[in-house]
Structure 1
Amino acid sequence: MTACGSGAGGVDGEPSGGLRALASRAVVTVAPGDGATGVPTSDALRITAADGRLTAVTVEDGRGGTVDGRIAGDGRSWRPLTHLAAATRYRVHALAEDDQGRISAKTSRFTTLVPRNTFIGHHTPEDGATVGVGMPVSLVFTRGITEPEAVERAITVTSDPPVEIVGHWFGDDRLDFRPERFWAPGTRVTVRLGLDGVQGRPGVYGTQAKTVSFTVGRSQISTVDAAIRRMTVVRDGRPLRSLPVTAGAPATTTYNGTMVISEKHEVTRMNGATVGFGGEYDIKDVPHAMRLSASGTFVHGNYWAPARTFGTANVSHGCVGLRDVRGGRDAAAPAAWLFDNSLLGDVVVVKNSRDRTIAPDNGLNGWNMPWEEWKR
């Protein structure tokens, strides 16, 4: 026993120094600290390594979702590539290695803030919709956005087949996305709203984490020539029908430009007082109305004008009217036919009117802005 003990060279029964397992010199630090609450959703999470290099970092929430991040080239730090969700508990697990290849680990937990003020984005089109080739993705936010870059980074719009899709802000509460040209028929578009935890303005955070998809149907582009009072409907490149219309009267002309159908109503009320025409008209049962602008331009059925008006005179207050019957009960009437054969997102082009081109933000009509300007 004595000889054995002397030969081992140990002290207090431990192995000799050459056999003793040494701890890693690498030290992992996680900020915020373990157990922290009310943590900001951006620029708060930092993971660093001293006397070593980070080799693996996992940040996950209680639902199994993970936060994408990147280890710096020198291995000294890790940062998330996106913001964190609000009111969420996260678990951090990080590994680092020292110059001898020895591993050090760190596990930490923290909870992000619960926002007092929030915002969402109301989206057009709806999830699952089939739309025309002119339909943009339009988001209208419930609060004015003062941090547009942060909001835009949290939204992705992709298509199959893929095309370049660019966002453009109209003011501080509306963000539209579109490609350079109309969508190809059959395109599937996916919108991912990762707004949960995004600070859109000081103290105001997004709450949405959802995915919206829609499909582009056949191509239908209707061209209204206000000078000859005629609409030509072209589907998938082939003329489908030519319809007589009445456009805006000389004092109340119709906008020129490329417009997108944004609403459809089998019957609706049109009151001139709501669009700046005082008491000039109040028609409670306008049939087959399809909105082209936010300011009140529609293509709609007209039962009150004589049949001879259509194709011969422009008498409207700026809308495009087609012959119809009261109540819209005649399926063969031009207005009924167009209504039944139109999708939200179909394109209506007006030309040769004595009016200016419609503003790009008046309805879903961003196609009237040149592509280079849109991208700027």
Structure 2
Amino acid sequence: MKTGKTVGAAIRTGGRRGAMALVMGGVLMLTAACNDDKGGSSADAAASTTAPASADVNGTAAPGGGDTAPKASVAVLAVEPKDGAQDVAPNALQVSVSKGKLTAVEVTDKNGKPVQGTITPDGAGWKPAAALAVGMTYKVNAQAKDDAGLVAASTTSFTTLTPEKKVSTNDNIADGATYGVGMIVSVDFSKDVKNKDAVLKGITVEASDGTVVKGHWFDSRRVDFRPEQYWKPGTKVTVKYRLKSVEVAPGVYGDVDKDEPFTIGRSMISTADAKTHKMTVERDGKSTVLPVTMGADATPSWNGTMVVMSKEKVTHMDSRTVGLGGEYNIPDVPHAMRLTTTGTFVHGNYWYKGMPFGNLNGSHGCISMADLQGGSDSSVAGKFYNDSMVGDVVKVVNSKEKTVSPSNGLGGWNITWANW
């Protein structure tokens, strides 16, 4: 299937800086990189070969803190093509590392189908066994270790080229997958769409319970679909594409006719309160309260409704990916779940050793919970991560920051139905 929207590490232009959690004089300053959303969608961050990262310019977990910051790996990963690249040649993918050896390379298409490939005997490189499919989005996860055993990690994505006079259609849905009640179907096009009404007629989203679903254009290349209220648990949903005969722009036609089914799972809606430093999790009618830290007064978390876009059991966060210096560089942030395109996360924190979570806000926008190095399933963050799925709702209230932009991640719930 050619449809597949990726959500790799990204930052928003004009963004605010990220930061790390520090303990100074008993004061908690927790990690989280920040977004400075100006009301529009953010461009995906180019992958850093030294530290491809998942840091945000306003709300992501900008790790750091404790008495001593973790030491960064000297291994330098390089992935070609660069993160977010479009129109990539099918034979262009290659992964390499200097000052270290590759330990794992996983490449999957948007439906989760793995790409076969082999790490070279010397551990310095990896290439796919065959050319990639055209018009497909791929995700690359790579890890390497230096001589000291320190880990470097990279997560990037790209889309291969589409034949001339066709537009590539990619969404964030995998066939047969299960998502949370806040899931929004987001469809991206590789070229500007001129005939938007014709395209909307060529994409329908049908629910088993008859729920009405509408599309909303954010620009000439992105249209999102959602119902008026959150989905009902157990709903069967089908995205129906009939675009091959649709002229999306003069002389340019769609590329896909296919039905793409998915299912809505149980309900889980979390509300993080910046005043109480607590997050209330409502799961199928049962309530749990978790201690957290959120954005400090100078770098507050976004207000508004966000949706879990992706989950990474371990990810790399580096301040250099948001235009800063070396303020923080954490190669193994555990239990990270992305909430915005620009990089806001809910994540685990093992490096802070000061006042217990739930007492104050010290991050640059992320929602951070107690964890252990390497991630522990029994930690607060580990349990929340294991209970969560893509499409779950996370709301932030009582923050001094403005409401997150509807185009920043799956933020469409912040638009009224009348304006949708």
TM-score by structure 1 length?
A: 0.67
| Residue in structure 2 matching 1:231, options 256, 279, 285 | 279
Q: Distance in 1 between matches of 2:221 and 2:335?
A: 31
| Corresponding position: 1:334 with 2:380 | yes
Q: Distance in 2 between matches of 1:352 and 1:372?
A: 25
SS at match of 1:249: coil
Which structure shows the bigger proportion of residues in helix conformation? 1
| Structure 1 residue 304: Cα displacement | 1.3
Rg comparison, structure with higher value:
1
Counterpart contact for 2:176–2:262, Cα < 8 Å: yes
Q: Distance in 1 between matches of 2:404 and 2:412?
A: 10
Give the structure 1 partner of residue 192 of structure 2. Answer: 144
Q: Distance in 2 between matches of 1:187 and 1:356?
A: 33
Q: Distance in 2 between matches of 1:371 and 1:170?
A: 15
**How many residues get paired?**
258
| Corresponding position: 1:354 with 2:400 | yes
5+ residue gaps, structure 1: 1-114
Give the structure 2 partner of residue 43 of structure 1. Answer: none
SS at match of 1:336: helix
| Residue in structure 1 matching 2:223, options 158, 163, 175 | 175
Letter in 1 for 2:393: V
SS at match of 2:374: helix
Q: Distance in 2 between matches of 1:305 and 1:174?
A: 39
| Structure 1 residue 358: Cα displacement | 0.5
Letter in 2 for 1:229: H
Q: Distance in 2 between matches of 1:277 and 1:338?
A: 30
| Corresponding position: 1:243 with 2:290 | yes
Counterpart contact for 1:307–1:323, Cα < 8 Å: no
Counterpart contact for 2:169–2:255, Cα < 8 Å: no
Counterpart contact for 2:295–2:362, Cα < 8 Å: yes
**After the TM superposition, which parts of structure 1 deviate over 4 Å for at least 4 consecutive aligned residues?**
none
| Structure 1 residue 122: Cα displacement | 1.0
Letter in 2 for 1:317: H
| Corresponding position: 1:257 with 2:304 | yes
Give the structure 1 partner of residue 369 of structure 2. Answer: 322
**1:78-97 correspondence to structure 2 within 5 Å:** none
| Structure 1 residue 231: Cα displacement | 0.7
| Corresponding position: 1:289 with 2:354 | no
Q: Once the two structures are superposed, what CA deviation does each residue of 1:227-249 show, in whole Å capped at 9, x if it has no partner?
A: 1110111112221x211101012
Q: Distance in 2 between matches of 1:357 and 1:367?
A: 11
Q: Distance in 2 between matches of 1:372 and 1:181?
A: 12
Counterpart contact for 1:160–1:187, Cα < 8 Å: yes
Distance 1:162 1:278, change over 3 A: farther
| Structure 1 residue 276: Cα displacement | 4.5
Letter in 1 for 2:373: R
Q: Distance in 1 between matches of 2:336 and 2:415?
A: 26
SS at match of 1:153: helix
Q: Distance in 1 between matches of 2:294 and 2:307?
A: 17
Q: Distance in 2 between matches of 1:169 and 1:327?
A: 40
Give the structure 1 partner of residue 208 of structure 2. Answer: 160
| Corresponding position: 1:298 with 2:345 | yes
5+ residue gaps, structure 2: 1-162
Distance 1:125 1:116, change over 3 A: closer
| Structure 1 residue 278: Cα displacement | 4.4
